[in-house]
Amino acid sequence: MFTGIVSDLGEVLEVREKAEGLRRLAIGCGYNPDSIDVGASIACSGICLTVVERGVDGNRSFFAVDAAAETLRMTTAGVWRPGTKLNLERALRLGDELGGHMVSGHVDGIAELAARDNLPDMARLSLRAPAELARFIAPKGSVALDGVSLTVNEVDGDTFSVLIIPHTLNVTTFGSLKPGARLNLEIDLIARYAARLLATLPR
């Protein structure tokens, strides 16, 4: 589990095809490699991926993960290339502060940035969600976009908006986002289970 609070800004260093439908990604990071266990989970722009290797390349730490065909198809990982910047978060440990909201790292779909309004020290992002996910997004509810926990401001059909504060703009990939960008979207776990419960109630 994760909280949607980004702890490092990583960069894809290498992309290598391992087998049909399996791709290995080496990701540069600021984490101490000795603190990363092989088999640990790290959220990479919102995608929970398992560490299969870690070490130091030159003067930079890195870890490697394998992305399978379903992950490559359902998320933005399919278009990651060397130089792609990623929001990183280590897995939640018992006793850690829950600063965002409960995030599983299981991406539900891809949202598209429809518009960006730059405000004094902030940015308002308007995004278009896949039609089948829009019903789970509500004003004042939570979403995770590229692994960042955000509060929804307004909803209009399949479009919703979020406000990005200066700190988030500085420590995540959001500072450079432009209209047309595609972001990994995870809906709120509570909204998902509430909808499932309502669907099973007798009519």
- Structure letter (DSSP) for residue 39: T
Distance between CA atoms of 4 and 172, rounded to whole angstroms? 11
Catalytic residue (choose from 106, 115, 131, 195):
106
50 catalytically annotated: yes
Task: Name residue 9's amino acid.
Answer: L
User: Of 77, 80, 23, 26, which is closest to residue 54 (Cα–Cα)?
Assistant: 26
48 catalytically annotated: yes
Distance between CA atoms of 41 and 39, rounded to whole angstroms? 7
- Structure letter (DSSP) for residue 103: B
Catalytic residue (choose from 26, 43, 44, 48):
48
62 catalytically annotated: no
Rounded (10°) CA dihedral 189, 191, 192, 195? 160
Catalytic residue (choose from 40, 68, 114, 138):
68
Q: Where are the alpha helices (DSSP H) in the chain?
A: 69-74, 131-134, 166-171, 189-200
Catalytic residue (choose from 7, 40, 50, 191):
50
Task: Name residue 103's amino acid.
Answer: V
151 catalytically annotated: yes
**191 in helix, strand or coil?**
helix
List, in order, residues 6 or more apart from 164 with CB less than 8 Å away: 122, 123, 124, 125, 150, 174
Catalytic residue (choose from 3, 26, 29, 41):
41
200 catalytically annotated: no
User: Of 103, 100, 131, 120, which is closest to residue 41 (Cα–Cα)?
Assistant: 103
176 catalytically annotated: no
Catalytic residue (choose from 35, 69, 131, 151):
151
7 catalytically annotated: no
Residues with active-site annotation = 2, 41, 48, 50, 68, 106, 151
